[in-house]
Chains A and B, each alone.
Chain A
Amino acid sequence: MTNSNERLPEGTGALPKAPTGIPGLDEITGGGLPRGRPTLVCGGAGCGKTLLAAEFLLRGARDLGEPGVILSFEEGADELADNLRSMGFDLRGLEAEGKVVVDSVRLARAEVESVGEWDLEGLFIRLGHAVDRIGAKRVMLDTPEALFAALPDEVTLRAELARLFQWLRDRGLTTVITAERGTQSLTRHGLEEYVADCVVLLDHRIVDQVSTRRLRVVKYRGSAHGTNEYPFLITPRGLSVMPITSLRLDHEAPAERVSMGVPDLDGMLGGRGVFRGSSVLVSGSPGTGKSSIAASFVAAACARGERALMFSYEESRAQLVRNMASVGIDLARWIEAGLLEIVAARPTVFGLEQHLVSIHDRVLEFSPDVVVIDPINNLTLGEHDTSLKPTLMRLFDFLKQRRVTGLYTSLASDHRSATNEQDVQVSSLMDTWLLLGNRELNGERTRTLQIIKSRGMKHSNQVREFVLDDHGLTLVDVYMAGNDVLTGAARVAQQSREGAVPERRT
């Protein structure tokens, strides 16, 4: 079970819940869906409602010892099995094991003629038979709305639906019902009238050509629940919901320190490096060496036997490995050892929230001790996107709860200005801020590094010269001549002029 970032008050014990097993969803609902009651999942076409309902049912059957019955009014059993296989669920296998029964109800309107009073007892009998056969505890109805098209008398149908939901409650079956979003009412045929206990709304929209999926618990009778919209993804392992909107700042503050992988830099950071679980921003204009610092940080972690996860949004994995090798940092070795995973993708693949969920998902799967995101500032396409900060806030909260130390690089767009506006905004979320720069002097460019801030520790205030060569990264001691700091060729010249040991200041 993941550490819950959003600790919602547990029920008073009066309302038992059926865990969904879907990452993030149990956190939002405070433990799962109402046990023995019906939950309505509604949304537009393609929003993922069938998948959510099916995942609830199948996880119950496969992982939680609660067999389930799927009553499918739209897809045939084969179609459903194929769709679920792509999420890693073996429907046919579970059927064979007697944990799941799939009953597919297909009725074409043109076939049915009403010639007197009728009821839906045939459906009740089929459902009852399936439930009894495997001792089912969960039921999925996808979607009873199909009956409105198939059957000729709506009055009778509604009466029977009311009876069906009562029947399900009487038998203590936790049921998930899917329905299509309506225009004048929540669902097209007003199913929310019969399902008053819990309603989940799924939304799928395209913003700036990027697809965004969101989930919201509209109603949960008898239980506190997160009321916000939460982004989610449909991954090859099922749904993944990002539950974080916590602004509670209630995570621990470890005292342990973690090396940056560059001894001189650790020296500038109170002699010991950054705090474990902290967030480090490394910003600067192009070519200043940000990725190298990130790689060095990662290599140091792996050398300690820790696990590192790198998200690279500019370079491919192979390119990153090659480039770092040229400055003496061997990432390939840690990849092979299974301690390092590099996830490379174009940032435009997803929307910002999907990135968040994707990162969250990977972290849950890989369990890293350190995370690098290189860079963070091109995750949004818009320059004036205001959602970067809240999104990062969620991410950092999540990582801090897990005591994961994070390093994030940020690219300043103009090579002259060392910081950009976004950096300043985001910096309040960071515990340590390293600023890399370029200094032009006498026709030569040298790299510089300074620590803008590092909370909770004494740190150096100097601007140090920073050298990248095939031996790795080093910070050159500050070389003083009079009141000036000399770097690059000027330094070398002055050193040779002065001969012996130069004055040292650290």
Chain B
Amino acid sequence: MTTGRERGDEPTYRLRLYVNAGTPTSAHAIVATRRFLELHLQGRHELEILNIADHVAQATADQVIASPTLIRLGPLPIRRFIGTMADEERLRRTLLLEAVE
């Protein structure tokens, strides 16, 4: 990564994954997300998984309309990733490398 940060100063990623529990895409998304995070952000991430139907007010506040939706709350800027998280390459480029903080 070419962020010019000093070693030991790497930020923790705060992530929230909204799914429609019980559907195949949900299951894929959860598995793929966990795998991705273990691989690239080992020990540097906090992942919250929410079922949209159980957290409607929260989903509304987070402007979630697609399912599944992964939101990077930190580091900024806030980004949204919609889909099963199957496109790992794109996820890597955008989730990891486009952090500004």
Contact B59 A122 (CB under 8 A): yes
Give the distance in Å from the alpha carbon of A284 to the alpha carbon of B86 in the complex: 84
Quick one: CB contact mask for A103-124 with B, threshold 8 Å, 1 for yes? 1011100011111111111110
Which residues between 118 and 170 of chain A lie within 8 Å of chain B, taking CB atoms?
118-123, 125-126, 129, 147, 151-152
Nearest chain B residue, comparing its CB with the CB of A106: B63
Residues of B close to A129: CB separation below 8 A: 53, 56
Interface pair A120/B87, CB less than 8 Å apart: no
How many B residues, CB 8 Å from partner?
35
Report the separation of the CA atoms of residues A120 and B70 in the bound assembly, to the nearest whole angstrom.
Answer: 14
**Measured between C-beta atoms, what is the minimum distance from B25 to chain A in Å?**
6
A152: nearest chain-B partner, CB-CB: B82
Residues in B neighbouring A147, C-beta threshold 8 A: 65
B83 at the interface (CB under 8 A from A): yes
Cβ 8 A contact of B69, one of A105, A117, A122, A152: A122
Complex alpha-carbon distance, A106 and B63, angstroms: 7
State in angstroms the CA–CA spacing of A112 and B64 once bound together. Answer: 11
* Complex partner residue of A113 from B18, B20, B68, B90, CB under 8 angstroms: B90
Partner of A118, one of B53, B66, B88, B90: B66
Q: Pick the residue among B23, B59, B64, B85 that contacts A116 (CB under 8 A).
A: B85
A276-301 vs B: 1/0 string, CB under 8 Å?
A: 00000000000000000000000000
Q: Is B15's beta carbon under 8 Å from chain A?
A: no
Q: Mark A180-202, 1 if CB is under 8 A from B, else 0.
A: 00000000000000000000000
| Interface of A, helix, strand, loop or mixed by DSSP | mixed
Q: Is the CB of B85 within 8 A of A119?
A: no
Residues of A contacting B30 in the complex (Cβ-Cβ under 8 angstroms): none
Interface centre among B29, B65, B68 (most CB of A within 10 A): B65
CA–CA, A433 and B70, complex, Å:
77
Q: What 0/1 readout, one digit per residue, does chain B (9-39) give for beta carbons within 8 Å of chain A?
A: 0000000001010010100110010000000
Q: Chain B contacts of A106 at CB under 8 A? A: 63
A107 vs B59: C-alpha distance when bound (angstroms): 13
- Out of A103, A111, A121, name the residue touching B80 (CB < 8 Å): A111
Chain A residue at minimal CB-CB distance from B86? A116
Docked-complex contact A116 and B84, CB < 8 angstroms: yes
* Cβ–Cβ < 8 Å partners of A151 in chain B: 66, 82
A-B CB contacts (within 8 Å), total count: 100
Interface centre among A116, A120, A147 (most CB of B within 10 A): A116
A-facing mask of B51-82, CB < 8 A → 1, else 0? 01100100110011111111000000111111
The residue that A125 contacts in the complex, of B25, B52, B88, with Cβ under 8 A, is: B52
Given contacts A111-B78, A113-B82, A113-B90, contact A118 B67 (CB under 8 A): yes
**For the complex, is B91 an interface residue (Cβ under 8 Å from A)?**
yes
Provide the bound-state CA to CA distance between A483 and B78, in Å.
100
Expressed in whole angstroms, the minimum distance between the Cβ of A121 and any Cβ of chain B is: 4
Whole-angstrom CA separation of A118 from B80 in the bound complex = 12
Decide: B20 and A121 in contact? CB cutoff 8 A: yes
Provide the bound-state CA to CA distance between A105 and B32, in Å: 27
> In the complex, are the beta carbons of A121 and B52 less than 8 A apart?
yes
B84–A118 touching, CB < 8 Å: yes
Q: Which residues of B contact A125 (CB under 8 A)?
A: 20, 52-53, 56, 59, 67
B79 near A119 (CB under 8 angstroms)? no
- A432, B66: Cα distance in complex, Å: 68
Q: How far is the CA of A129 from the CA of B60 in the complex (A)?
A: 11
Most buried by B among A105, A115, A122: A115
B90 to chain A, nearest CB (A): 5
Residues in B whose Cβ lies below 8 Å from that of A103 = 60
Contact between B86 and A122 (Cβ–Cβ < 8 Å)? no
Assuming the contacts A111-B78, A121-B20, asked whether A116 and B87 have C-beta atoms less than 8 A apart, the reply is yes
Minimum distance in angstroms from B65 CB to a CB of chain A:
4
Residue of A nearest to B82 (CB): A118
Known: A121-B20, A121-B52. A116 touches B65 (CB 8 A): no
Report the nearest A residue to B32, measured CB to CB: A116
Chain B contacts of A114 at CB under 8 A?
81-83, 87, 90
With contact pairs A115-B91, A116-B87, A118-B82 given, residues A126 and B66 touching in the complex (Cβ less than 8 Å)? no
Cα-based distance from A116 to B54 in the complex (angstroms): 23
B80 surroundings in chain A (CB, below 8 A): 107, 111-113
Interface residues of A in 75-128 (CB under 8 A from B): 103, 105-107, 111-123, 125-126
Interface centre among A107, A119, A122, A151 (most CB of B within 10 A): A122
Q: Using known A-B contacts A107-B65, A113-B79, A121-B20, determine if residue A126 contacts B60 with beta carbons closer than 8 Å.
A: yes
User: Is B52 a contact of A117 with CB atoms below 8 Å?
Assistant: no
Contact B29–A116 (Cβ < 8 Å): yes
Complex: A111 Cα to B23 Cα, angstroms: 25
Residues of chain B with a CB closer than 8 A to A119's CB: 25, 66-67
Q: 12 A-B contacts, Cβ less than 8 Å apart?
A: A105-B63, A107-B80, A112-B66, A115-B70, A115-B88, A115-B94, A117-B25, A118-B69, A121-B52, A122-B20, A125-B53, A125-B67
Q: A120-B67, A125-B53 are in contact. List 20 more A-B contacts (CB 8 A).
A: A105-B65, A107-B65, A111-B79, A112-B81, A113-B79, A113-B82, A113-B90, A114-B87, A115-B81, A115-B88, A116-B25, A116-B28, A117-B25, A118-B67, A118-B84, A119-B66, A120-B65, A121-B20, A121-B67, A125-B52
Query: Which 5 residue pairs of A and B lie closest in terms of their CB atoms, listed nearest first?
Result: A116-B83, A116-B84, A116-B86, A121-B67, A123-B65
A-contacting residues of B (Cβ < 8 Å)?
18, 20, 23, 25, 28-29, 32, 52-53, 56, 59-60, 63-70, 77-88, 90-91, 94
